[in-house]
Amino acid sequence: MSSYKDTLSADQLSNIYIIIDEMQKAGITNIYTQSAFLAVISKESAFYPQSETSYRNTSNDRIRKTFGSRVPSNDAELNALKQNDIKFFDTVYGGRYGNALNEGYKYRGRGFNQLTFKGNYASIGQRINIDIVSNPDLVNRIDVAAKVLIDYFLREFNNQKIDINSFKDSQTALKRVFEANRGFGKGSIDSVPDVTGGYNLALSRLGDFDLIVGLNKKKKIILISVIVYLLLVKIFPSIKEYNYVSFIGVLLSVYFIYEKTSLKNINNLID
């Protein structure tokens, strides 16, 4: 049976590495946090930045699990409502978190993590210095989507005073990242279980992303080591006489430094 990572296309893998690089640049260097981010994004958008899709073919039961009392309890009314995307999103998102009553559709979910509500578009847009309020579809552009994603999670973790790089295992990281994505105000995943199936889906893919993030880290350590070694050879040509020993020494040194710091400036040079 193939794993989730085996099903990823070249475009999806490219977008995954864009997200990892954006995390590194923002100082999110904990591999468990990175894996958790990717697992959650996999179930949100499958690594294709996109607008929230229509619910016209979604079962009424699932819609009610997602939106609760904001949608009609009568099946006939809900069936009619979900056939009109603008009315549907205005109903479930209108008049909330900065949205006017008729802005639910305009500020529906977009991007890698389905950024929703005008208030979020405004605050994040201001911090990343991109006007996504006037042009919300910019959030579906890959480079903007990655910045929006990282800024959103940094804000949520900072507001809760949680160190985003403090996790010691990927499952604990996943719980906190999932809670941040749905809103910490909705409670912990242990006390308020997810009813949509999204958490279990992300959890089932977590091992794949542990592997992807680990391989990415190894590649960066080797690449940085090669760059450092070549620079040393240029400065001290005699090092070439101890070729393998010298390179192993550089490799071990880079690995140690990588583990102790984010190597942020070097990452920015090679990204």
Global pTM reads 0.74
Q: Would you say the C-alpha torsion 12, 212, 189, 97 has a positive or negative sign?
A: negative
How does residue 214 score in pLDDT terms, banded at 50, 70 and 90? confident
Taking residue 239's Cβ as centre, other Cβ atoms within 10 Å add up to 17
Please enumerate in sequence order all residues whose Cβ is within 8 A of that of 165, keeping only pairs 6 or more positions apart, or say none: 27, 28, 29, 30, 33
Over 70: is that where the pLDDT of 169 sits?
A: yes
- In this predicted structure, the answer to whether residue 270 has a pLDDT above a threshold of 70 is no
* The pLDDT of residue 126 is above 60: yes
Q: Residue 256, Cβ neighbours under 10 Å: how many? A: 10
Compute the distance between CA of residue 28 and CA of residue 20 in angstroms, rounded to an integer: 9
**Cβ partners under 8 Å of residue 85, min gap 6:** 54, 55, 56, 105
The arithmetic mean of pLDDT across residues 88-104, rounded, is 97
What value does the mean pLDDT of the chain take? Answer: 86
pLDDT of residue 100: 98
pLDDT band with cut points at 50, 70 and 90 for residue 185: confident
Q: How confident is the model at residue 271 (pLDDT cuts 50, 70, 90)?
A: very low
Classify residue 3 by its DSSP letter.
Answer: -
